Amino acid sequence: MKGKPMLKFFQLLFLGGSIALPPAAGLAQPYPSKPIRMIVPNAPGGLADVAARLVAGKLSESFGQQVVVDNRVGAGSTIGTLAAVRATPDGYTVLTVFDSHATNPHLFSKLEYDTLNDLAPVSLLVRGPMLLVATPQLPASNVQEFVKMAKSKPGAINFLTVGPGSPARLFMELFKSGAGIDVTMVSYKGAGPAMADLMSGQVDIMFGTIPTVGSFVKSGKLKALAITSEKRNEFAPGVPAMNEVIPGFRAEVWVGMFAPVKTPADIIAKLNAESVKVLATADLKARFAEQGLETVGSTPAQLDQWLRFESDRWGKVIRDNRITLE
């Protein structure tokens, strides 16, 4: 007789416990179920920020959840990058960086993160060439003439840059070694004074992004000698590619998306798929074309390969030329 009440007790206990059990994992809300934070370790208005905001707007529509850009500026983009490395790897924090991400390990004596191993690649978003432009007073109308002039007057020609580790500086070092020329660097703290001195002839030449120098080329205040893409480009009609004079020369600025390294693979795949989809839309392609940028939408593996290639190549340039941030 005692067995039946005891059996009933356990049946009721089981029933009560089953009611209190949490929902099965398979019934969890699909990703994303809340806003995503997109860290940009650079100031508003820069290349990485512009790209991030354009992509974030489209991803917000695609996901049905807000993708909010969070500018974490400082220490050459390393503060924001470290914040992403330390974020919870749940897919609700991503990082959007530009090309300095590949060069920082070679410019800083110590970083608090491993660039190649502490972040999971999602997608290479966009990339684009720079223009080699000169003051109108320079007696050279193309790269061949410029190289000839530079070789006849070693160190006499000045090129400007706005930072020792900037793409403009690194591109010029690559150009110098490829062409076998010697030119003198003149460093500026801001783009405004630099551009004014270039147009007035105080300095001779620079590499600049198409949004920065394109309008000056069109107005005749600067002249374009070459574009750094592998071949001639629709962003600068009629301008020859550096590769035509220096075989193998190709250098581009770029923006990529990463996530904390332990972010689940299925979430990385979802972020990648949606990024590739929005980058393929006609309106986003057009918006980036206005910035002289081509949409890419790579696989995570392709971004990883790209980052390692860029890190190795520019690391050698930095070491060979003893470039530091000091």
Of 13-17, 182-186, 253-257, which gets the smallest average pLDDT? 13-17
Report the Cα 43 to chain-centroid distance in Å: 13
Token pair recorded at residue 298: 């790579």
Give pLDDT, residue 162: 85
What is the reported pLDDT for 272? Answer: 98
Cβ-count burial of 180 within 10 angstroms (0-12 exposed, 13-18 middle, 19+ buried)? exposed
- Tens-digit pLDDT profile for residues 218-244: 999 999 999 999 889 888 989 999 999
Q: Measured at the alpha carbon of residue 291, what is the angle toward residues 216 and 254, in degrees to the nearest 5?
A: 115
Whole-prediction pTM value?
0.88
Question: Which pLDDT belongs to residue 1?
Answer: 45
Q: Do domains 36-128+252-320 and 129-244 have the same CATH topology?
A: yes
* Cβ contact 47:209 at 8 Å: yes
Domain 129-244 coded CATH 3.30.565.10: no
Do 295 and 125 form a contact (C-beta atoms < 8 A)?
yes
Q: Is the pLDDT of residue 26 over 60?
A: no
Please name the fold of domain 36-128+252-320: D-Maltodextrin-Binding Protein; domain 2 (3.40.190)
Name residue, tokens 């974490």: 72
> Strand locations in the chain, DSSP E?
36-40, 67-71, 93-98, 119-134, 158-161, 184-187, 205-209, 223-227, 252-260, 294-295
Q: Which residue has the higher pLDDT, 10 or 135?
A: 135
pLDDT of residue 191: 79
Confidence of residue 112 (pLDDT cuts 50, 70, 90): very high
Cβ(150)–Cβ(176) below 8 Å: no
Q: Is the pLDDT of residue 190 over 90?
A: no
| Percent of the chain topping pLDDT 70 | 91
Residue 133: what are its φ and ψ, rounded to 5°?
A: -120, 155
- The pLDDT value given to residue 24: 44
What are the extents of the domains in the chain?
36-128+252-320, 129-244
* Tokens 């080699």, located at residue: 132
Which carries the bigger pLDDT value, residue 216 or residue 28? Answer: 216
DSSP assignment of 108-128: SS--SS-TTTSEEEEEEEEEE
Q: Which residues contact 171 (CB under 8 A, 6 or more apart)?
A: 130, 207, 228, 251
Structure tokens at 69: 């850009």
Q: What is the pLDDT of residue 17?
A: 44
pLDDT top residue among 188 and 181: 181
At 61-106, the pLDDT tens digits run 999 999 999 999 999 999 999 999 999 999 999 999 999 999 999 9
What's residue 29's pLDDT? 79
Whether a cis peptide bond, with omega within 30° of 0, leads into 32 is: yes
Contacts with 256 (C-beta within 8 Å, 6 or more apart), sequence order: 96, 97, 98, 101, 121, 122, 123, 124, 125, 303, 306, 307
Residue 252: which pLDDT band, with cuts at 50, 70 and 90? very high
Q: How does residue 14 score in pLDDT terms, banded at 50, 70 and 90?
A: very low
Binned at pLDDT 50, 70 and 90, residue 28 comes out as: low
| pLDDT tens per residue, range 263-281 | 999 999 999 999 999 999 9
